[in-house]
Amino acid sequence: MKLGHWSLSQPLGNGYGRVAAVKRGRGVILASLITIDDLSNEDILAILDDAELLLPAAKGEVYLPLLQGKLLGNLFFEPSTRTRMSFEAAMKRLGGDVINLGDVSSSSVVKGETLYDTIRMVDGYVDIIAMRHPRQGAAQYASDSAEVPILNGGDGAGHHPTQTLLDLFTIRQAHGTIEGLNVALVGDLRFGRTVHSLSHALVRFGCSLTLISPDSLRMPSEIIDDLQALGATITQSENLKAAVPDADVIYMTRIQKERFPDEDEYQRVAGIFKLSAADLAPSKGGMIVMHPLPRVDEVAPDVDTTVHARYFEQAFNGVVTRMALICRLLGVAVPQNAGTNGGES
Ligand code: NCD
């Protein structure tokens, strides 16, 4: 039986891209963020450092209008709560503004407008675009078609690099480093774009990965090959409980129901991993449980009150890391005193 989820049949366009990866929109050299490999390790660390400086502004403790006069276009062709809202919060906390595509069903997409035409048009309205699309590769396509930077907020089962930045920020906050940790990635590693992007970054920082999924939802072999080519230590398993004692981070994910071609196939794996507070008893004291959210039933509510839970902080960190990222792509320097007298209170 086919799932009743909404799927987008929007044509991409005529296949002609106008602009290469490095852009020169509005006089500044700009690039898009399509995969986490668009950023070097040094770039990532610089963004995390800027994000830390911006914490008081993200919390509204200081007003720092670094992005005054700048406009972000939120183009979400797939449902989103955190990613879309945190992009909006990031812009507005820094004095910038946002326009939204809004509900796809009330946009010209339903009239058959191609992604190419939508992007070419919004490109003229804004300084930067955050985009989510159900088709893998759509963000790269958009970037090839636009002059302003495109921030990939998720392309189908492909990549989700801005999520990776907030994930890394959260890990560094808890452990003081993102290097050399043992990280268990759990759940739907086949369709889950957050873990596709995060695994690349973690391996580049020398982390060891335990990939825990049912056999049918294993990390795609091309990704495993890439990670191994980077020298990664990878263990694949179906046993979540066995991974708890050695883990520094347990990163839970939702089974991506909307990406299954078939309801029966989904039902065979639904609810397969459930983490409860009792399961965490053998863990290291500093171990953190993360989840990109939304959760279904894979993390029990009793985990929320343990010292390990970090998913709500993680969601907040989406604001501060997206602030830092937008500043960087728009060529706006984050002042060292951003958290004190850098802003007006
Ligand atoms: C994730 C996504 O959209 O890939 N959500 C998010 O951005 N925080 C994870 C998910 O939907 O399961």
CATH of the domain at 56: 3.40.50.1370
Q: 136 with 186, same domain?
A: no
Q: 225 with 276, same domain?
A: yes
Q: Which residue's CA lies nearest to atom 7 of ligand 1?
A: 83
Q: 201 with 93, same domain?
A: no
Q: 257 with 224, same domain?
A: yes
Helix, strand or coil for residue 193? helix
d(CA 335, CA 177): 23
Q: 274 with 174, same domain?
A: yes
Give the residue ranges of the chain where pLDDT is below 70.
1-10, 13-30, 341-345
Q: Which of 78, 83, 322 to mutate to test the pocket of ligand 1 (most atoms within 8 A of CB)?
A: 83
Interval between CA 194 and ligand 1 midpoint (Å): 7
DSSP class per residue in 79-134: --SHHHHHHHHHHHHTT-EEEE---GGGSGGGGT--HHHHHHHHHHH-SEEEEEES
295 domain-assigned = yes
Domains: count for the chain? 2
Task: Give the domain range for residue 120.
Answer: 22-159+316-329
Q: 114 with 197, same domain?
A: no
Interval between CA 24 and ligand 1 midpoint (Å): 31
Q: 33 with 84, same domain?
A: yes
Helix, strand or coil for residue 272? coil
- Catalogue the active-site residues: 82-83, 111, 132, 160
Ligand 1 atom with the shortest distance to the CA of 254: 12
Q: 282 with 260, same domain?
A: yes
Q: 31 with 128, same domain?
A: yes
**Residue 19, pLDDT score:** 40
Q: pLDDT of 170-193, one tens digit each?
A: 999 999 999 999 999 999 999 999
**Ligand 1 pocket, residue 194 CB under 6 Å:** yes
**Residue 293, pLDDT score:** 98
**Residue 10, pLDDT score:** 65
12 domain-assigned = no
Q: 93 with 219, same domain?
A: no
**Residue 341, pLDDT score:** 54
**Ligand 1 pocket, residue 160 CB under 6 Å:** yes
Contact call for residues 125 and 72 (beta carbons, < 8 A): no
